[in-house]
Amino acid sequence: MSNTKEAKVLGALQMESIGGKGLTAAQIESRFGVGNARATVSSLRMKGYAIYANRRTDTKGRTKTFYRVGNPSRAVVAAGYRALALANG
């Protein structure tokens, strides 16, 4: 992946995931000039990156979604292979 907005978002998600926090959609859109953070995250997922969305509620009851890069569980990998097997019939 070249030095595109997607590549910059992926790099930032990987760095933020090390600290365990992640980035919100608003942070992704403002930092990288991305028009739609959800679409960018979806595109990265389709390219094989395990990007998780975790919801957190603060003390005032506001819920935010934080995106982070992680390692897929064995169940997720197995489900992917089953889906490929069904598609290739």
Question: Looking at residue 29, what is its pLDDT?
Answer: 96
The answer for residues whose C-beta is within 8 angstroms of residue 34's C-beta and 6 or more apart is: 5, 9, 28, 40
CA dihedral 55, 35, 42, 58 (to 10 degrees): 0
pLDDT surpasses 80 at 69: yes
CB 64 within 8 A of CB 58: yes
Quick: pLDDT tens for 5-64.
Answer: 999 999 999 987 777 789 999 999 999 999 999 999 999 999 989 999 999 998 999 999
Q: Where in the chain are the domains?
A: 5-88
Q: CATH code for 5-88?
A: 1.10.10
Closest CA to 35 of 65, 15, 55, 5: 5
Q: What is the pTM of this model?
A: 0.79
